[in-house]
Amino acid sequence: MSEGSKGSSLAFGQVVIGPPGSGKTTYCHGMQEFMGRIGRKVTVVNLDPANEAMPYQCAVDIAELITLPDVMENLKLGPNGGLIYCMEYLEANFDWLQEKLAAFRGHYYLFDCPGQVELYTHHNALKNVFAQLAKWNFRLAAVHLVDSHYCTDPGKFISVLCTSLSTMLHVELPHVNVLSKMDLIEQYGKLAFNLDYYTEVLDLSYLVDHLASDPFFRNYRRLNEKLVEVIEDYSLVSFVPLNIQDKESMRQVMQAVDKANGYSFGDEEHRSLEALMSAAVGADFHFTSTLAVQERYVQSQDKAVDEEVMDL
C-alpha cells in the first residue's frame, strides 16, 4: 500500500459517517457479521476517538494513537474541539494508519467514523484522511446514516436533506445515504407521506405546503422554498432504508455500496449470499437483481400488447 505505487492491489471499503446516535457503530457491527456470513473478509477500523464500547471485532483502533478523554484533559478542550484535534492528529500521523492497515491486505474495510457533523460539512481533516486512503489505492464509498425519525418532522427532514447534500459535496466520495432504524419508525409517529416520498426525495413542494400548515413555520415559507430549490437543483440526495435486523434490507444496502465503490464479488460469495437470503425468505428464493425483475416485467407487458395486436 505504498503511496503512488500503481502496481499495488486495490482495497475496497466504506467510511461510515453521520450525526451522533444515527447508528454508525451498530451498522458496522451488523455489516461485519452479514458480510462475514457470505465469505467476505471484513476489517473494522475505529476512527472515533470517543468510541469506547465497540460491539464489533475491531482490528485497528485510533485509541492506540489518541483518545478524546486524554485530549480534553491535557489540552482543556471541549468535546467538539477535542474531536477536531484528534482528527488533525490522525492526519499528521498517516504513517501509523498505513502501517496498521497494511496488516490486513485483501480484506474489505469498514471505517467507523466520529459523529461530529462539522467534520463532514466544512472541516478538512477527515476529508484529507479519505483522500490519503485513495492514494493508497483504497476505493471507498461514504455511507451516510440518518435516523429515520427525522421523516416524521418535515422541518427536520429538510434540515437532514441540506446536511446530506453539504456532506456529499464536501467529502467528495461516492455516496450512499441511508435511513437507519427503519424498524423503529412506527414508534416515532405517523409519516405525512408514503415512505418512498422520503427515500426518493420526490417533489419537495408538498413538504413545504405541509410545513405551511404549522403556524410556527408559516413565517419561514420563503426560506423553506429556497432551501428546497437548492436541494432539487443538485438532484443528488436520495436514501436507502435500513433495518439492521432484516437480511433483505442489509443486502440492499450492501449492493448499493458495492455499486458505489466498484466492488465486484465472485461466484463463491454470490452463492453464499443466495444461501443466506434463501434461509431468510424460504427455500424457493433465488437472488435476482431489481433490474432483472423489471426487465421481465417489461417483456411480459410487451408480449401481452403483441398478443392483443395479433388478436385484432
- The CATH number covering residue 140 comes to 3.40.50.300
Listed in sequence order, the residues at least 6 apart from 150 whose beta carbon sits closer than 8 Å to its beta carbon are: 156, 157, 159, 160
Domain region containing 187: 11-194+240-267
Closest Cα partner for 165 from 154, 177, 182? Answer: 177
Backbone angles phi, psi at 145, to 5 degrees: -90, 135
Count of domains forming the chain: 1
Packing angle, helices 221-234 and 205-212, rounded to 10: 160
Q: Does residue 210 belong to any structural domain of this protein? A: no
Q: Are 139 and 294 in contact (CB under 8 A)?
A: no
Would 73 be classed as within a structural domain?
yes
pLDDT, tens digit, 9 for 90 and up, residues 5-44: 444 589 999 999 999 889 999 999 999 999 999 999 999 9
In a domain, residue 247? The reply is: yes
Looking at the predicted structure, is the pLDDT value of residue 2 above 50?
Answer: no
The reported pLDDT for the residue numbered 265 is: 65
Q: What is the pLDDT, as a whole number, of residue 277?
A: 67
Predicted model pTM: 0.81
Question: What is the overall mean pLDDT for the chain?
Answer: 85
How is residue 123 annotated by DSSP? Answer: -
β-pair partners for 22: none
Q: How many degrees, rounded to 5, is the angle at CA 139 between CA 3 and CA 173?
A: 110
Residue 157 lies in a domain: yes
Residue 136 lies in a domain: yes
pLDDT at res. 180: 93
DSSP 8-state symbol, 8: S
Domain membership of residue 305 (yes or no) is no
Bridge-based pairing state of the strands 108-112 and 11-17: parallel
